[in-house]
Amino acid sequence: MPVGVLTISMVPSASTTVGQLSIQEALGTLCLNLRSGKM
């Protein structure tokens, strides 16, 4: 999933856990959309 990798790379290393949770939530939603066939 190149998009996810790029998103994580753009996040500053000083980001807090909240930022990481936001990324996980976004990736989770993306995965659900892919599984549902919605894109």
Backbone angles phi, psi at 14, to 5 degrees: -90, 5
Of the candidates 20, 39, 21, the residue with the CA atom closest to the CA atom of residue 30: 39
State pLDDT tens for residues 1-39.
456 655 555 555 555 666 777 888 888 888 888 888 865
Here the tokens at position 6 are: 């790029």
| pLDDT at residue 1, as a whole number | 47
Of the candidates 2, 12, 37, 15, the residue with the CA atom closest to the CA atom of residue 27: 2
| pLDDT at residue 5, as a whole number | 59
